[in-house]
Structure 1
Amino acid sequence: MDPPGPGDEGEATQPQPLEWRFAQVFGERAAGEDVQEVDIISAIEFDKSGDHLATGDKGGRVVLFERTDARDQNASRRELERQDVPVTRHPEFRYKTEFQSHEPEFDYLKSLEIEEKINKIKWCQTANNALSLLSTNDKTIKYWKVQEKKVKRVAVMNLDSSQNVGSSTTAIASTSSYKAPLPNGGCSDKFDCVNNDLSFPPGGYPSLRLPVVTSLEANPVARCRRVFAHAHDYHINSISNNSDGETFISADDLRINLWNLEINSQSFNIVDVKPTNMEDLTEVITCAEFHPSHCNTLAYSSSKGSIRLIDLRQSALCDNHSKIFEEHEAPGSRSFFTEIIASISDLKFSRNGRYILSRDYMTLKLWDLNMNSGPVSTFQVHEHLRPKLCDLYENDSIFDKFECCLSGDGLRVATGSYGNIFRVFGCTPGSMEATTLEASRNPMRRQIENPARPTRTLASFTCGVRRGGENQGVDANGNSFDFSTKLLHLAWHPTENSIACAAANSLYMYYA
């Protein structure tokens, strides 16, 4: 019998597979157009309401989008729901603003160049109609506040040339009798000085306009409130906000630090896996995230494929975990690539906080916090690439870090793959839903012929190491080996079946 899944509340029927449709795209490149490295999207994040979306790129910029159809359709949606009419809501976003979050830096003490690339973006709680978010590169975290500001401008002020022809003769006449001023500011002629220089036509100048200040439309303005720096010796791989709305964590390869949003001068080191002798180092931290509702609980993953759950109430230094989640490999299945592909690149809590979704190189795994003997579900993402691990290792693609996400109702999970495709799996017990979509205007154009829920096989294999492995190829089933295009970053709308994903510099939106 299958273990309970995140959407299992005792329902007898399986949810129908979703039919995905293209919604919109931002920054779509033309055929043959080269993509600049700085324009490649490196982070995507919805806020809790789903009305705002933020993306970060390798150029250090953060771009914000806002939902435009929500206000218009709320009333009609409620009316249709009262009539038990199925509602298909087409999400629409528009560009809101962008700002330069990080600049390239150079650490002269370590002779290290620090890229401006945005590694992660996390939304903070909204206050006073201002949007707040955290963004980080390899070393520095910044706290931004984006607020609508009315821009004021002075209206155009000049003399109307069509109405001051007669006045010009008066001005010329007055200047002809101009008296040179004295050094003390006086005038050599006490009578003519004032009368001639300040002579105005009767009724004044009809075309003279006084300056008028006008208020234009409110524009979003981004302001950096605080900078959290000098706390990580290694590259920051993740940040996560706490449910208390006051603190957040930042994680690098060996340490996790706890910060207060209002204090940037100090942080508390809560996890430190650095050994006394660096030669004894066997694993590093790859990702960390707070529990969505328990402010004392967080989880972090490692390069060995394990997930550790820690409780901040137990100790100030949380080197000892309260629970560990890991899958033990089958005997005789170990190979040269086993440890590399076991490294977890991303993890996410489900919205109710009971499940954790993790992504390693080949699979998605769903873990139940109440059962740490093994994952409740394992989803094969691109099993057809297993015979190509040698080539993937040669061109460093095996070290690509794919993200994962869960739907708000916990019924489905999603992650990306090569060839700009992403896969959506149903995670209820017995579900066979496994949809492959391409980041394009026709997401159903390409389908990979794989079993919907294949069993995981870790049989050992042999392959010869070849230099200069090709980036593209096709196997016997027609599956693409295009390693140059990859869909690393995607996010699921918190309350609707809507996915945003990044393919190079393009942001694609889909709904079901």
Structure 2
Amino acid sequence: MNGGDEVAAATPAGPPPALEWKFSQVFGERTAGEELQEVDIISAIEFDKTGDHLATGDRGGRVVLFERTDTKDHGGSRRDLERMDYPITRHPEFRYKTEFQSHEPEFDYLKSLEIEEKINKIRWCQTANGALFLLSTNDKTIKFWKVQEKKVKKISEMNVDPSKAVGNGSVASSSNSSAPKPYLANGGCTDRLHNSSGNDFSIPAGGFPSLRLPVVVTSAETSLVARCRRVYAHAHDYHINSISNNSDGETFISADDLRINLWNLEISNQSFNIVDVKPGNMEDLTEVITSAEFHPNQCNMLAYSSSKGSIRLIDLRQSALCDSHAKLFEEQEAPGSRSFFTEIIASISDIKFAKDGRYLLSRDYMTLKLWDINMDSGPVSTFQVHEYLRPKLCDLYENDSIFDKFECCLSGDGSRVATGSYSNLFRVFGCSPGSTEATTLEASKNPMR
């Protein structure tokens, strides 16, 4: 540039380069020939916002926590501080932190239904004072857990020397003057002993001489303790399919097939029904709620999806019962493309907001769709996941596989989306403008094969 007369042309930023995937870690790997127990099958998984903690839930009602170890401080030497100025290029490393039994099998005697302990969803809440908080739910009951380190309290000694205690722990005496004097709890001693003949005895002025009280001390050791702080129950007639935290840190929603309830974390005996799609006559039922998610930044906004392939964005400020939606996102059906399977494969199984709240990702049986919440005319991108299965829809319907549900997610920078498939495979797509990235990976020690 000479004298400011020339302006350098701005080079448009291209899509990010494709990622190179490598195996990092595996937890719970089975040995050869080990039989798989159904209770050990993972049914829910969730990272916290920082990425430093990972929670998994299984069919046995257990929640297992892992923590990241490669980002922890290593002293504070000059070399360590200089190393912190550069981005971490190594793989993240996680280690087992703790586990606890979140849910137990129950039985609804009123409806004669068994309620299995399987964890459906886990959601992390805001941390406070070094403690971790999370929500877990099965089909009917949501629980609020607090996990924190506590110093171990131990009984170090008794306040009376056992060798100087008299008798076998009860009242004792001796007429022998050479017998040791009983020591009292206050450190003194007394010569007033009861007569050992018969059942008559006198109580010493300072109390029973053989009374021993433990001295509890707090040691330097710590242990992780998981405590259930709240139980949110008896609010859903149908199976809970979603829970989502609000950005205000005080409330969350839970959704089943026909209703969405709003809860306060501190109040477990009351919730507000904010969405109700149950018709007056159940024969008129045409769609059910499949997933619900709060907006990541605006505490008054949330979205929920339906089995008809539509997504509704609602504003809690409009009314107490959100019968109407602020926006409706659905893709118009192409003329002549309707078939017996059209509505089945259009059912949305999962929705996720991008980190900035601008975009919304949805997953149906065949595709991933990325929506701009400012444009409700249609998705901005559609990614084909199961297109190769279209000729086999009849077979999939016969064995009920067509009703399988898959989840989806967006990367933190919003440049990629991912979802699961069959045969331990998952798909990763680039969603930046101009990106053609479409990678199929296997969840194994050799992901690129």
TM-score interval for Structure 1 and Structure 2 normalised by the shorter chain: 0.7 to 0.9
Query: How far apart are the structure 2 equivalents of 1:66 and 1:142?
Result: 21
Instruction: State the shift of 1:385 in Å.
Output: 1.3
Which residue of the partner structure matches residue 124 of structure 2?
Answer: 123
Which residue of the partner structure matches residue 138 of structure 1?
Answer: 139
CA contact (8 A) 2:151 2:218 kept: no
CA contact (8 A) 2:14 2:434 kept: no
CA contact (8 A) 1:77 1:87 kept: no
Query: How far apart are the structure 2 equivalents of 1:355 and 1:277?
Result: 36
Query: How far apart are the structure 2 equivalents of 1:78 and 1:299?
Result: 43
1:261 to 258, 265, 277: 265
Give unmatched runs, 5+ long, in structure 2.
Answer: 1-9, 183-213
Instruction: State the shift of 1:356 in Å.
Output: 0.3
SS at match of 2:423: coil
Tell me the amino acid that sits aligned with residue 423 of structure 2.
Answer: G
Instruction: State the shift of 1:197 in Å.
Output: 5.3
CA-to-aligned-CA distance 1:143-162 (integer Å, 9 cap, x gap)? 000010111334699xxxxx
1:209-228 alignment, distance < 5 Å: 213=217, 215-228=219-232
Residue 153 (str. 1) matches residue 154 (str. 2): yes
Which residue of the partner structure matches residue 115 of structure 2?
Answer: 114
Give unmatched runs, 5+ long, in structure 1.
Answer: 1-8, 158-170, 172-177, 200-209, 446-512
Query: How far apart are the structure 1 equivalents of 2:84 and 2:18?
Result: 21
Residue 438 (str. 1) matches residue 417 (str. 2): no
CA-to-aligned-CA distance 1:208-232 (integer Å, 9 cap, x gap)? xx98956253111000001000110
CA-to-aligned-CA distance 1:465-492 (integer Å, 9 cap, x gap)? xxxxxxxxxxxxxxxxxxxxxxxxxxxx
Going from structure 1 to structure 2, the CA distance change for 1:155 and 1:278 (only over 3 Å counts) comes to same
Which residue of the partner structure matches residue 417 of structure 2?
Answer: 413
Going from structure 1 to structure 2, the CA distance change for 1:329 and 1:64 (only over 3 Å counts) comes to same
Query: How far apart are the structure 1 equivalents of 2:303 and 2:345?
Result: 20
Instruction: State the shift of 1:74 in Å.
Output: 11
1:60-71 alignment, distance < 5 Å: 60-71=61-72
Tell me the amino acid that sits aligned with residue 285 of structure 1.
Answer: I
CA contact (8 A) 1:405 1:414 kept: yes
Answer with 296-305 or 214-223: which moved more.
Answer: 214-223
Query: How far apart are the structure 2 equivalents of 1:378 and 1:141?
Result: 34
Which residue of the partner structure matches residue 377 of structure 1?
Answer: 381
Answer with 413-422 or 30-39: which moved more.
Answer: 30-39
Instruction: State the shift of 1:28 in Å.
Output: 1.0
SS at match of 1:410: coil
Which residue of the partner structure matches residue 428 of structure 1?
Answer: 432
SS at match of 2:144: strand
TM-score with structure 2 setting the length: 0.84
CA contact (8 A) 1:341 1:362 kept: yes
Instruction: State the shift of 1:10 in Å.
Output: 9.2
SS at match of 2:177: helix
Going from structure 1 to structure 2, the CA distance change for 1:214 and 1:315 (only over 3 Å counts) comes to closer
2:320 to 316, 325, 332: 316
Q: Please, what is the CA RMSD of the aligned residues? A: 2.7
Tell me the amino acid that sits aligned with residue 370 of structure 1.
Answer: N
Query: How far apart are the structure 1 equivalents of 2:274 and 2:258?
Result: 11
Tell me the amino acid that sits aligned with residue 103 of structure 2.
Answer: H
Query: How far apart are the structure 2 equivalents of 1:213 and 1:317?
Result: 54
SS at match of 2:178: helix
Query: How far apart are the structure 1 equivalents of 2:172 and 2:100?
Result: 51
Alignment coverage as a number of residue pairs: 400
Query: How far apart are the structure 2 equivalents of 1:150 and 1:86?
Result: 35
Going from structure 1 to structure 2, the CA distance change for 1:28 and 1:328 (only over 3 Å counts) comes to same
Going from structure 1 to structure 2, the CA distance change for 1:13 and 1:221 (only over 3 Å counts) comes to same
Instruction: State the shift of 1:363 in Å.
Output: 0.6
